[in-house]
Structure 1
Amino acid sequence: MDLLAQAALNGAPPEELESLPLPGDFLAAHLRASDAESLIGAADKDVRRTIHVGRVPMPEPAPDEVVVAVMASSINYNTVWSAMFEPISTFSTLRRYARQGRYAARHDLPYQVVGSDAAGVVVRAGAGVRHWRPGDHVVVSPAYVDDQDPGSHADGMMGEHLRAWGYETNFGGLAHYTVVRASQLVAKPPHLTWEEAASITLCAGTAYRMLVSDHGARIRQGDVVLVWGATGGLGAFGVQLVRNGGGIAVGVVSSDAKARILREQGCDVVIDRRDIGMGDNADSGTDAAELGRRLGRIIRAEIGEDPRVVFDYVGRATFGTSVHVVRRGGIVVTCGSSTGYQHTYDNRYLWMNLKRVIGSHIANLQEQGECIRLFNQGGLVPVLSSVFPLEQVAEAARLVQENRHVGKVGVRCLAPCDGMGVTDPVARERIGVDRITAWRRYAMAPAMTGTGQ
């Protein structure tokens, strides 16, 4: 560990952090452009073949950027996509971004540092940064917003040049250091450990925008909300948000073990998708309308009405069923698509029943701040199930690729062990250590198979 990282870990004051030089290189999980064609035609596109851990050069920070010493990060499905070079190689995205010139040109490299979550300590702040200084404890939002884009000023997610940091940009969070825009930072919840804090921004922020925000479904008290993949990172936060808002959460899972977890976590109604005829691959070939009728019968028997909102990040395997099962005038809100991007559905059920589909992506900074506020209040808690050291990040990504996990899979970067980073132990006790760490007992539980859910 270099001197700057050691000082950040030890809580050094701003003056000391500023006096220590940035290292010339650092340890990072990265992809190589030379591997981009290595998985073509492979029956198993094993991400362990393409995720490398090694030293990369420190980039020059721009005036509106900060350098963060990353204490912890986590695995998201976009890292799996990147490492599979699907649906396209992210190196092509980096090349397009670099055409803007100036600091954007830094991102076009023969390697890409990946990762779209991080918690750590600011160690450098550019001359244009106003609200952050070295020593601040932060979490990083994955929304890489262009503040000179007119669309961004109505909603940061609507700018033409919006990118997902660590997926559509270089210098992501699965590393000892990351370089991010100051507009990506939110103060770290002081009652959470580094690895807990690093597991919340992408998934919880995305779920908040999908369900709570004015840009999403705007759930209300009493809303019945169907959540596909309800023990995944997105789904587990979705269930929490529905229940916090006075709604009724209906969670769909893929195994007995996941159903047990969901019941233990207080989901109102739990449905195993095998009970409606969706097999282990989440794509039974059965007509989506028929699956919707089966699912609807179960929900009505339990609750007495159809869902007003369906939360769907699974994609191809579930989307047609989502459109069918949501009630007249209801909303299907979608992002991601872990089982495939090409969705099919019977449009009659959409147009004749006045249903709506809302596409959603990450969260703007205001939404991210409101979401973190819920963690600070204790209304939301992490769903972190397991933590790997950075040197084993490829194994962690493989776990997610094969859907052998629940909740979020964390990665320790500079933090030498779990449990560090708590600066408000009183709040931690008030909210409840058992609540905050509840998902840790589910780490790599058996019988967790089932694509995308």
Structure 2
Amino acid sequence: MQEILDAIMSGDRTEETYSELSVPESFEAVVVRKDEVDMFEGRASKDKDPRESLHIDEVPLPELAPGEALVAVMASSVNYNTVWTSIFEPVSTFGFLERYGRTSEAAKRHDLPYHIVGSDLSGVVLRTGPGVHLWKPGQECVAHCLSVELEHHDGHNDTMLDPEQRIWGFETNFGGLAQLAIVKANQLMPKPEHLTWEEAASPGLVNSTAYRQLISKNGAAMKLGDRVLIWGASGGLGSYATQMALAGGATPICIVSSPEKAEICRKMGAELVLDRREKDYRFWNDDYTQQNPREWKRFGKDIRELTNGHDVDIVFEHPGRETFGASVYVTRKGGTITTCASTSGYMHEYDNRYLWMNLKKIVSSHFANYREAWEANSLIRRGLIQPTLSKTYSMKDVGQAAYDVHKNAHQGKVGVLCLAPEEGLGVTNPERREPLVDRINRFRNV
């Protein structure tokens, strides 16, 4: 492994150098263990601690299948799916690996008593499997997390509709929180040259998800002038939606949970910000059995005060149960609620009168297809959208990183160094970086 790191640190990116490197028989990876899936039994979700369930184990390196690539991972990041995996909610991810393992000989490799987690990476290609020709050893890359088989006809209009669509590192094994990762070659994209390894690793999942959910024709198809309500606007997903709204000529209405998070939104250029904790909205009673429509109305009134009397065209939804009733209510007549994830609960409730009688639309969105992920990555590479990295951990502290995300004790994205020995490495185009430095760093140390 040291030989691989030395080659990467040297700056040499020739195919010959990396083709001649030997790859180790095993490597270190962040895993959850199958024999621990019941470890949190009896605890409430909020009391389940990723620091107890995430381990660094030495694991064997599997053979590459056709169409795959082996990547030396310099950095990765923590997404909420890593939190779900680590607390074994809503289900254990080992069920995903078992079902995948039954589909083919190559997929059997994924059905293991451990699950290597992580759905982001930046690094360098080391090897490619049979049939790969667009990617070569030595190329710097990032990876999006859509793993798709594309044998079924349904996947060939929009790969997210493929019945064999899975999220790498969550519904598959060999994820990005490791020294080495295995991805399909059609997950790879060029690393932004002006970013460090940890910065480049942080946008992948959330940036692509926000792009499809807000910009793509498969999501809300945001247009110039739209008013967009963004829940958790300074968080991992919302921070990219806020930037995209601003870059696309829309007006974001940023919903946050602290003055510090409100200030981050203003640093991004947003002017309309609501601190939901300061306003103390109580959309539900204390035991979450009944919603309070009067609070929806108070919330809508506060939004109209910010927007000069206008309701919002789009609601960018991801909290789920806690906020969904309010989201449906405050959307304008004919407007769109676009939803992915459900970090506060999957069983959404809303008053259908406000949807059906006002011709509103609920649009579901899940990650992104390769084209959408590529376009989202292009926005990063061109400096139109910035990474929102706030803090970086070493791989040995990944449990704490996941704990912070679980407790919402973070801003933007939380990065993890894998092979990279320290922060700040990996920039190959400092000229492009120089005018963007302040924007790249605006989430750090907040």
State the alpha-carbon separation in 2 of the partners of residues 248 and 231 from structure 1: 15
Partner-residue secondary structure (3-state), 2:334: coil
Indicate if the aligned counterparts of 1:98 and 1:104 stay in contact, CA closer than 8 A: yes
Structure 2 residue 329 is matched with structure 1 residue 324 = yes
2:415 partner letter: G
State the alpha-carbon separation in 1 of the partners of residues 9 and 62 from structure 2: 21
The equivalences for 1:54-133 within 5 A come to: 54-133=57-136
Q: Deviations over 1:102-142 (max 9, x none)?
A: 10000000000000000000000112112100011110001
The equivalences for 1:189-204 within 5 A come to: 189-204=192-207
State the alpha-carbon separation in 2 of the partners of residues 173 and 280 from structure 1: 37
Q: Which residue of the partner structure matches residue 294 of structure 1?
A: 298
1:173 partner letter: G
State the alpha-carbon separation in 2 of the partners of residues 158 and 356 from structure 1: 20
Structure 2 residue 323 is matched with structure 1 residue 313 = no
Q: Which residue of the partner structure matches residue 371 of structure 2?
A: 366
State the alpha-carbon separation in 2 of the partners of residues 25 and 318 from structure 1: 45
1:376 partner letter: R
State the alpha-carbon separation in 2 of the partners of residues 288 and 200 from structure 1: 36
Structure 2 residue 383 is matched with structure 1 residue 378 = yes
2:141 partner letter: V
Q: What is the CA RMSD across the aligned residues, in angstroms?
A: 1.6
Indicate if the aligned counterparts of 2:282 and 2:292 stay in contact, CA closer than 8 A: no
In the alignment, structure 1 segments of 5+ residues that lack a partner are: 443-453
Q: Deviations over 1:131-173 (max 9, x none)?
A: 1000111100011111222122101111001000000000000
Structure 2 residue 310 is matched with structure 1 residue 333 = no
Structure 1 residue corresponding to 2:424, chosen from 397, 413, 419: 419
State the alpha-carbon separation in 1 of the partners of residues 334 and 318 from structure 2: 20
State the alpha-carbon separation in 2 of the partners of residues 76 and 318 from structure 1: 20
Indicate if the aligned counterparts of 2:340 and 2:366 stay in contact, CA closer than 8 A: yes
State the alpha-carbon separation in 1 of the partners of residues 232 and 398 from structure 2: 23
* Greater mean alpha carbon deviation, residues 285-294 or residues 413-422: 285-294
Indicate if the aligned counterparts of 1:277 and 1:284 stay in contact, CA closer than 8 A: no
Indicate if the aligned counterparts of 1:390 and 1:412 stay in contact, CA closer than 8 A: yes
Partner-residue secondary structure (3-state), 1:440: coil
Structure 1 residue corresponding to 2:356, chosen from 351, 360, 384: 351
Number of equivalences: 441
* Deviation (angstroms), 1:19: 1.4
State the alpha-carbon separation in 2 of the partners of residues 93 and 342 from structure 1: 21
Q: Which residue of the partner structure matches residue 389 of structure 1?
A: 394
Structure 2 residue 146 is matched with structure 1 residue 143 = yes
Partner-residue secondary structure (3-state), 2:218: coil
* Deviation (angstroms), 1:426: 1.0
State the alpha-carbon separation in 2 of the partners of residues 296 and 344 from structure 1: 18
Q: Which residue of the partner structure matches residue 10 of structure 2?
A: 10
* Deviation (angstroms), 1:281: 10
2:155 partner letter: S
Q: Which residue of the partner structure matches residue 439 of structure 2?
A: 435
* Greater mean alpha carbon deviation, residues 357-366 or residues 264-273: 264-273
2:85 partner letter: S
The equivalences for 1:146-157 within 5 A come to: 146-157=149-160
Indicate if the aligned counterparts of 2:338 and 2:365 stay in contact, CA closer than 8 A: yes
Indicate if the aligned counterparts of 2:70 and 2:181 stay in contact, CA closer than 8 A: yes
1:215 partner letter: N
Q: Deviations over 1:162-194 (max 9, x none)?
A: 000000000000000000000101111111111
Q: Deviations over 1:305-330 (max 9, x none)?
A: 00000001111100111011101111
* Deviation (angstroms), 1:10: 2.6
* Greater mean alpha carbon deviation, residues 291-300 or residues 329-338: 291-300
Partner-residue secondary structure (3-state), 1:357: strand
2:88 partner letter: F
State the alpha-carbon separation in 2 of the partners of residues 147 and 384 from structure 1: 33
Q: Deviations over 1:283-302 (max 9, x none)?
A: 79573532321121112112
The equivalences for 1:179-194 within 5 A come to: 179-194=182-197
Indicate if the aligned counterparts of 1:28 and 1:174 stay in contact, CA closer than 8 A: yes
Alpha-carbon spacing, 1:66–1:288, altered in 2? closer, same or farther (3 Å): farther
Indicate if the aligned counterparts of 2:141 and 2:190 stay in contact, CA closer than 8 A: yes
* Deviation (angstroms), 1:280: 12
TM-score normalized by the length of structure 1: 0.94
State the alpha-carbon separation in 2 of the partners of residues 288 and 133 from structure 1: 57
State the alpha-carbon separation in 2 of the partners of residues 354 and 231 from structure 1: 30
Q: Which residue of the partner structure matches residue 39 of structure 2?
A: 38
State the alpha-carbon separation in 2 of the partners of residues 4 and 287 from structure 1: 56
Indicate if the aligned counterparts of 1:283 and 1:317 stay in contact, CA closer than 8 A: no
Structure 2 residue 26 is matched with structure 1 residue 25 = yes
State the alpha-carbon separation in 2 of the partners of residues 402 and 121 from structure 1: 32
State the alpha-carbon separation in 2 of the partners of residues 60 and 242 from structure 1: 43
Indicate if the aligned counterparts of 1:274 and 1:280 stay in contact, CA closer than 8 A: no
Alpha-carbon spacing, 1:249–1:8, altered in 2? closer, same or farther (3 Å): same
State the alpha-carbon separation in 1 of the partners of residues 155 and 76 from structure 2: 27
* Deviation (angstroms), 1:282: 11
Structure 2 residue corresponding to 1:175, chosen from 156, 160, 178: 178
1:104 partner letter: A
In the alignment, structure 2 segments of 5+ residues that lack a partner are: none
Indicate if the aligned counterparts of 2:17 and 2:138 stay in contact, CA closer than 8 A: no
Indicate if the aligned counterparts of 1:216 and 1:333 stay in contact, CA closer than 8 A: yes
* Deviation (angstroms), 1:260: 2.3
State the alpha-carbon separation in 1 of the partners of residues 182 and 296 from structure 2: 45
Q: Which residue of the partner structure matches residue 448 of structure 1?
A: none
Partner-residue secondary structure (3-state), 2:216: coil
Indicate if the aligned counterparts of 1:117 and 1:198 stay in contact, CA closer than 8 A: yes
* Deviation (angstroms), 1:276: 4.3
Q: Which residue of the partner structure matches residue 211 of structure 2?
A: 208
